[in-house]
Amino acid sequence: MTAIWGIVNATPDSFSDGGRYADPDSAVAHGLLLRAQGADVLDIGGESTRPGAERVPVAEEQRRVVPVIERLAAEGIPVSVDTLNASTAVAAVRAGARIVNDVSGGLADPDMLDAVAATGADIALGHWRGPSSDMYARAEYGRVGREVAAELRERVAAAAAAGIAPSRIIVDPGVGFAKTVAQNWELLRELSDVVALGSRVLVGTSRKRFLVEALGDDADERRRDLATAVTSVLAARAGAWAVRVHDVAATRDALAVLGAWDG
């Protein structure tokens, strides 16, 4: 069955749950809850990548995530670190993280790919066209699925050149990053272009703005989580290896129904 990554935002300013898990004890408790609900991986982030977000000093990012990773990894839980910074990636792997989730695909920090190669960790390479502060200025595509796949192919090649084996590479089409609402839906409809690259595919739609546009501006968190579960099931049907979500329980149930449907 498609794997579930549970999101733990150890930040005060995440677009969805900023501040709820900003202290280590709260973040660890939330991670343990997500694990109990069925998360296969816990993805720990200390810097918001929401549209318009400003960068966080690396030392502050590490202060937020390293203690959380240490405690969750000590429980035997597979942990990923969501970071744009090579030094944070290295610190996180030392703390027990098994995966580095870089939404920039190694473009934000030129040292990232070499750093991850040396750690032996897996890496998730996101599709990215620039920082959150002005990402929508780059949202120009002809056929979005084909172009995203081509740009991810370049990142996979760069990772391989740095010494990261194909078996350690995951690709993420970057739903919500440098894409309009319409382009996000088009990308999901054309997910087969990304799956055809041959790498494991991670899809993250959770609570993102394009879902709210479909539901209406009055959509509360519960409705956004339901919409996330639906898109996660559709991504799984299209070949996604894993989905990244805030509400693990809803997505777990939706994927279980898909499994029963498919027999």
Q: How does pLDDT run across 200-245, given as a tens digit for each residue?
A: 999 999 999 999 989 987 889 999 999 999 999 999 999 999 999 9
Q: Which residues are known catalytic residues?
A: 208, 244
pLDDT at residue 173 tops 90: yes
Distance CA 20, CA 72 (A): 17
* Kind and range of the H or E run holding 200: strand 200-203
**Residue 226: closest CA among 215, 239, 236:** 215
**pLDDT tens per residue across span 6-22:** 999 988 755 555 566 66
* Kind and range of the H or E run holding 91: helix 86-95
Which residue has tokens 């977000």?
Answer: 53
* Kind and range of the H or E run holding 32: helix 24-37
Under 8 Å between Cβ of 259 and 18: no
Model pLDDT, residue 123 = 98
CATH, residue 182 = 3.20.20.20
Instruction: Count Cα neighbours of 110 within 13 Å in the Cβ-side half-sphere.
Output: 0
What is the domain count for the chain?
A: 1
**Global pTM?**
0.94
Domain region containing 133: 3-262
Q: Which of 113-127, 135-149, 194-208 is predicted with the least confidence, judged by mean pLDDT? A: 135-149
**Residue 107: closest CA among 148, 67, 154:** 154
More confident call, 53 vs 219? 219
